């Protein structure tokens, strides 16, 4: 007998992966330049030069044994110390290398953090729309994912609904800002309310409720928008970070977990993170890329390309009659489908070679997600197809 749940997860791909595979097939049939693939969040902007420079220097001048050898299970001590100094300088925190655990990207940061916290009967809250893998990650621990709909007018958190959703079983809250798929950055005002509610509920139930900040898009914001650093607002915070988007390194699988030094019994929380990393086999993230990111702290890929894409797509689509919120961050546009069933809408979009993701699995039916981390040229070429699609409904 096999695990039925795992067979099911392995057999039924996510809707995003399905569309991505369809896109590859379609590109082989009619040519890549004729398919407008907005399915997946794979950055089109290359990694900044520091990545190549660091990798070349390390590979040519570094100690090959150390470079390809194991580091400590929780990551190289030098990198963890540098990370602590960098985060302290950016956000005024008081972290040391012992607050950091290096991971293979945000997915691992999340699964490790959840595994570290979860006990039977626990619940984790998140806000829709949400990154669909949260359901998989939470349920894998035997816990329940509780979804609280965001305020439909601006996709900020609906604090009344949030407060009502917290129960004595709530172990944690997963908060993703800038958000995939809405592109919304949660305001400081809204965050403060969320933290007040959490403090109140911790007292009421006499237990810790952890805030898990999923932050792979922290640096991808446009204009003067600020992304508040959650450790400065709430003590029981665990930050899940990744270089997949900020340095355009999704395939290298590198990121980290930072446990706040103000969390209750933080050393024990950190020990649980190390234990979960061990139990899941997520020890010693790739050594070469640990060294590379250590040399690229504070650098990002060219975010101005995403801003240009956002402006181009948002302005054109709203002019054609589509309805969506202007995103402040990440690289997604979250658009109302032009018919009730977003799946039918996304199917119709395929007739125009537009690959857009229906948002049912993001917990918000009636919407589609458009990933604009593609070339600006692709967006320009796709605009007549978006116009034809909207006209087909008139």
List residues binding ligand PLP (CB under 6 A): 41, 105-107, 131, 176, 180, 214, 216, 242, 244, 250, 255
Our CB check for ligand PLP shows the closer of 140 and 385 to be: 140
Our CB check for ligand PLP shows the closer of 176 and 248 to be: 176
**DSSP letter for each residue of 345-361:** HHHHHHTTTEE-EE-GG
Phi and psi angles of residue 239, each rounded to the nearest 5 degrees, phi first:
-95, 130
Our CB check for ligand PLP shows the closer of 180 and 202 to be: 180
- Asked whether the beta carbons of 96 and 84 are under 8 A apart, the reply is yes
- Asked whether the beta carbons of 169 and 123 are under 8 A apart, the reply is yes
Our CB check for ligand PLP shows the closer of 113 and 180 to be: 180
Our CB check for ligand PLP shows the closer of 87 and 330 to be: 330
Nearest Cα residue to 273 out of 115, 72, 66: 115
Nearest Cα residue to 247 out of 46, 41, 38, 39: 46
Residues sharing a CB contact under 8 Å with residue 49, sequence separation 6 or more, in sequence order = none
**DSSP letter for each residue of 360-384:** GGGT-TTEEEEE--S-HHHHHHHHH
From the CB of 20, what's the least distance to ligand PLP, in Å? 12
From the CB of 148, what's the least distance to ligand PLP, in Å? 16
Residue number with the smallest Cβ distance to ligand PLP: 105
Our CB check for ligand PLP shows the closer of 18 and 57 to be: 18
3-class secondary structure, 206: coil
From the CB of 126, what's the least distance to ligand PLP, in Å? 10
Give 265's DSSP letter. Answer: T
From the CB of 394, what's the least distance to ligand PLP, in Å? 34
Order of strands across the sheet with 357-358? 332-336, 367-371, 357-358
From the CB of 391, what's the least distance to ligand PLP, in Å? 32
Our CB check for ligand PLP shows the closer of 211 and 389 to be: 211
From the CB of 354, what's the least distance to ligand PLP, in Å? 20
Regarding beta strands 210-214 and 237-242, do their DSSP bridges make them parallel or antiparallel, or are they unpaired?
parallel
From the CB of 61, what's the least distance to ligand PLP, in Å? 28
Q: Determine which helix (DSSP H) or strand (DSSP E) holds 257, and give its type and residue range.
A: strand 255-259
């Amino acid at each position: 007998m096999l695990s039925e749940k795992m067979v099911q997860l392995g057999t039924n791909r996510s809707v995003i992966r399905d569309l991505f595979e369809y896109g590859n097939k379609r590109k082989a049939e009619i040519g890549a330049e004729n398919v407008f693939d907005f399915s997946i969040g794979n950055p089109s902007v290359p990694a900044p030069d520091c990545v190549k420079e660091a990798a070349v220097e390390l590979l040519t001048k570094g100690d090959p044994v150390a470079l390809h050898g194991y580091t400590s299970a929780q990551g190289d001590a030098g990198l963890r110390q540098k990370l602590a100094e960098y985060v302290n300088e950016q956000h005024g925190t008081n972290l040391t290398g012992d607050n950091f655990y290096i991971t293979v990207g945000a997915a691992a940061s999340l699964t490790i953090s959840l595994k570290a916290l979860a006990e039977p009967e626990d619940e984790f809250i998140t806000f829709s729309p949400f990154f669909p893998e949260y359901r998989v990650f939470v349920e894998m621990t035997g816990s329940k994912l509780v979804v609280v709909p965001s305020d439909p007018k601006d996709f900020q958190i609906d604090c009344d609904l949030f407060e009502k959703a917290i129960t004595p079983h709530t172990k944690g809250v997963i908060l993703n800002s800038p958000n995939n798929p809405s592109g919304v950055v949660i305001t400081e005002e809204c965050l403060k309310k969320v933290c007040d509610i959490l403090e109140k509920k911790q007292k009421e139930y006499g237990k810790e409720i952890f805030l898990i900040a999923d932050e792979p898009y922290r640096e991808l914001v446009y204009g003067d928008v600020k992304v508040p650093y959650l450790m400065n607002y709430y003590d029981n915070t665990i930050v899940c970070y990744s270089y997949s988007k900020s340095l355009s390194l999704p395939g290298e699988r590198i990121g980290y977990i930072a446990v706040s030094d103000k969390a209750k019994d933080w050393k024990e929380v950190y020990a649980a993170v190390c234990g979960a990393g061990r139990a899941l086999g997520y020890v010693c993230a790739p050594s070469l890329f640990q060294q590379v990111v250590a040399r690229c702290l504070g650098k990002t890929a060219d975010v101005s390309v995403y801003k240009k894409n956002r402006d181009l797509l948002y302005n054109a689509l709203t002019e054609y009659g589509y309805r969506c919120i202007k995103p402040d961050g990440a690289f997604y546009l979250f658009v109302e489908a032009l018919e009730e069933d977003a799946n039918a809408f996304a199917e119709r979009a395929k007739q125009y070679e537009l690959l857009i993701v229906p948002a049912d699995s993001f917990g918000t039916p009636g919407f589609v997600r458009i990933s604009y981390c593609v070339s600006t040229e692709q967006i320009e070429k796709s605009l007549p197809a978006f116009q034809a699609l909207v006209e087909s409904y008139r």
